[in-house]
Structure 1
């Protein structure tokens, strides 16, 4: 169990709603759908859904971003993710790592344990327990980056979903290399817009932000001594 999963959930019943296309850019076609992820039985007709309050705060973040970068937009890479899709992507990531390491299939139990621990540094456990939902399955978490006026991605120094230390938000913070300094500035621009709108950032992923779920409550409590927030979004 990860520390944030110990946070209590008091489900508020807020609806899952589509992210308004007029405000943002989108990853189309959606990467996980291209891989064959099972969205067919989802409660939303696309991955681009969030809780209503999260959408409202996301629009506020976009407004904040454009005060200093008027031609930039937030690109939505992923948002609501059913537990079945979470399981599919955990399995897919496990297999990709195993292949990259030259493992024979089926993977031996000792090697399997090492790989799955590595996977779970970045991917949440696809738990069906209502007390420990994957963040994306609550409608309170999303994966994002930035694009310019020509819909070209702003260079963040590593791709979304990369399983490496380069994914850590402050990985380039102490670099003296001009390009890496720019990567850090770009990550900070994204982070500042989201934090100012009430989101929290995943400690291991520069692209993952959350609001209202267990991770958000846990991070908020960690950052504000004496705060005892609980989650308002459970599994949807």
Structure 2
């Protein structure tokens, strides 16, 4: 008893060390548990600023519990301008659309939202992918295939990778602009590479203002693109640290012999009542 009494601190340290070793052994023994722990470690590192973005490996790990919430067409709003790049009709999941309306309602006088892209069908995603590949090949004749694909993937998602995004109806590309549709200065144009080192104070302020507006309604920004926001898809869930939190998967499914078929209901703008 005297031995325990006079060595209690050392004994406790050994007991804790053994418990940690046993816990690590328990975690590392299972691949599923290793991936789960890795997800949360990556999330903590992102929140601490140790990594710039969540790994695509962990984005792909997010489980989607599809809500089958309908896609709704955008109804006219005096604070929303539609850019010609947006697929027509402009559609988003109902809850996502309502959150966008709430953002628009909060804008100051003279400030407008410009939508560059919302829901994109799988067919359109494939078309955009091929268009960007062709353009990149024409503009960069000496570039090898791997570099070319990496450059294109920065601008548009590969259509065969389901990471969430525009095909879910839960993601939107947008900017702030004046009544004539002229964008605020965000340091780069839509789909140009973004950076922070060369940004002016005004550009940083504009990005933070847009981010604050969107975050107030629950949206999450994709770190490498100031214009891309989402709610409820895999990107949103991973940056919220919710491994099983996504509620919107692709709005279309591919079936043999029939191709892509939309599996969620669509509501026209005439029936779109907030």
Per the shorter chain, which TM-score range? Answer: 0.7 to 0.9
Q: Measure how far apart 1:47 and its partner are.
A: 4.5
Distance in 2 (CA, whole Å) between partners of 1:229 and 1:147 is 36
Task: Report whether the alignment pairs 1:59 with 2:74.
Answer: no
SS at match of 1:25: strand
Runs of 4+ in structure 1 deviating by more than 3 angstroms, as ranges, are: none
**1:72-221 maps to which residues of 2 (within 5 A)?**
72-103=111-142, 111-127=144-160, 132=162, 134-162=164-192, 164=193, 167=194, 171-172=195-196, 174-175=197-198, 180-221=200-241
Q: Measure how far apart 1:86 and its partner are.
A: 1.4
TM-score by length of 1: 0.75
Q: Measure how far apart 1:134 and its partner are.
A: 4.5
SS at match of 1:60: helix
Instruction: List alignment gaps of at least 5 residues for structure 2.
Output: 1-55, 252-274
Instruction: List alignment gaps of at least 5 residues for structure 1.
Output: 34-45, 222-226
* Greater fraction helix: 2
SS at match of 2:240: helix
In the alignment of these two chains, the number of paired residues is 195
Give the RMSD, CA atoms, in angstroms. 2.2
SS at match of 1:121: helix
Is the 1:80–1:138 Cα contact (8 Å) retained in structure 2? yes
Say if 1:89 and 1:215 are closer, same or farther in 2 by CA, change over 3 A.
same
